[in-house]
Amino acid sequence: MTVRILFFARYRDLAGRDQLDLELPAGSTVGAAIDRLRAMGEPFTALPERPATAQNRIVVRPEAVLAAGDELALLPPVAGG
């Protein structure tokens, strides 16, 4: 199945792109997608092991199951005041 990975802010700078289509086995979790992405080597190894994520614009945990065509956004930490 194909899942679209979206990179924002600092993660977009690290990845050098806004998005990437990632092939995963059916039933893969968010955590498995991040692991697969990091296993692709540089520059993706610079991403945290468990970044905040949103699946189809809903914040999810690493054990959430992905479906074909999902968007998985990697959400960088934000600071504010």
61 lies in which domain range? 2-75
Partner residues linked to 3 by β-bridges: 22
The pLDDT tens digits along the chain (81 residues) read 999 999 999 999 999 999 999 999 999 999 999 999 999 999 999 999 999 999 999 999 999 999 999 999 999 987 665
Task: Output the pLDDT for position 44.
Answer: 95
Cis peptide before 77 (omega within 30 of 0): no
Is residue 20, in this structure, part of any structural domain at all?
yes
Task: Output the pLDDT for position 80.
Answer: 61
Task: Output the pLDDT for position 11.
Answer: 95
Task: Output the pLDDT for position 31.
Answer: 98
For the entire predicted model, the pTM comes to: 0.93
Is residue 80, in this structure, part of any structural domain at all?
no
Residue with tokens 């600071």: 79
Is residue 17, in this structure, part of any structural domain at all?
yes
Is residue 58, in this structure, part of any structural domain at all?
yes
Encode 15-69 in three state secondary structure. HCCCEEEEECCCCCEHHHHHHHHHHCCCCHHHCCCCCEEEECCEEECCCCECCCC
d(CA 1, CA 67) in angstroms, rounded, equals: 7
